Amino acid sequence: GDSVTQMEGPVTLSEEAFLTINCTYTATGYPSLFWYVQYPGEGLQLLLKATKADDKGSNKGFEATYRKETTSFHLEKGSVQVSDSAVYFCALKVNQAGTALIFGKGTTLSVSS
Amino acid sequence: NAGVMQNPRHLVRRRGQEARLRCSPMKGHSHVYWYRQLPEEGLKFMVYLQKENIIDESGMPKERFSAEFPKEGPSILRIQQVVRGDSAAYFCASSPAEGARSEQFFGPGTRLTVL
């Protein structure tokens, strides 16, 4: 079945370091891909998305490119801040009406000053 | 425009009691999804509802769990005779339409603790 695999955390970085969180997926057809962020005690917020191959989603300095050939959607940021500390979830959605999101297990990012 | 609202935010129940979780979708949204997040896990789909209809409940446990989305009022996720393994965060998401690429907007979640 369809699934998402993302790198296990926690990821611990110093402020201004470069961030990569790997995400690969398995899906029939051509899904849409998402990164969600969850701050402590809060719900999920959509960070960025891409709906077709080679699309690049970007938001708040974060980027991810939909790579069909490697079935990947890795999250990157050039210079992290303490405020980026959160749990990051990669997710896919099959492009059929009414289908649910399929999430990875999440990667905890901790950024220290 | 208020976002997706869930209440209560925190709920404590003893084993054997019932838990009722409520979700009010964003204004104009008629599609609701419930997800469960177990500790150290990602979110798992439970059920998808439209007004007065359950469309997909393939992720719901077969016993003790039920969901509804009445014509008026919030969507309700009901867990009867709770057990410790039901302790989790339950998230509701809503979307405006059935379109394949409709974005889902998440509520803040209800954190259920079963003693």
One digit per residue, the tens of pLDDT, for chain A of length 113 reads 889 999 888 999 999 999 999 999 999 878 999 999 999 878 889 999 999 999 999 999 999 999 999 999 999 999 999 999 999 999 998 877 667 899 999 999 999 99
CB contact under 8 A, A97 and B98: yes
Place of tokens 């974060």: A62
pLDDT per residue as tens digits for the range B23-81: 999 998 989 999 999 887 789 999 999 988 999 999 999 999 999 999 999 999 999 99
**Regarding beta strands A11-14 and A107-112, do their DSSP bridges make them parallel or antiparallel, or are they unpaired?**
parallel
In whole angstroms, give the CA distance from residue B111 to residue B115.
13
* Dihedral over alpha carbons A65, A100, B40, B17 (to 10 degrees): 160
Query: In this complex, do B35 and A106 lie within 8 Å of one another by their Cβ atoms?
Result: no
Cβ pair A100:B56 closer than 8 A: yes
**B64 to each of A14, A46, B17, how far by Cα in Å?**
46, 31, 11
pLDDT at B103 over 90: no
pLDDT at A98: 63
Provide the pLDDT for residue B104: 87
Residue B100 predicted with pLDDT over 70: no
Residues of chain B with Cβ-Cβ distance to A89 below 8 Å are 42-43
Nearest in space to B67 (alpha carbons), one of A102, B14, B56: B56
The pLDDT score that the predictor gives to residue A41 is 78
8 Å CB contact between B86 and B112: yes
| The dihedral formed by the CA atoms of A98, A102, A103 and A104, expressed in degrees to the nearest 10 | -170
User: Using alpha carbons only, what angle is made at residue A104 by residues A98 and A106, rounded to the nearest 5 degrees?
Assistant: 125
Best mutation target, A51, A66, A101, to test chain B (most B CBs within 10 A): A101
Average pLDDT over residues B84-103: 84
B101: pLDDT strictly greater than 80: no
**Residues counted in chain A:** 113
B104 chain-A contacts, CB cut-off 8 A:
101
Distance, in Å, from the CA atom of B25 to the CA atom of B50, rounded to the nearest integer, reads 11
SS3 category, B86: helix
Chain A closest-CA separation from residue B72 CA (Å):
21
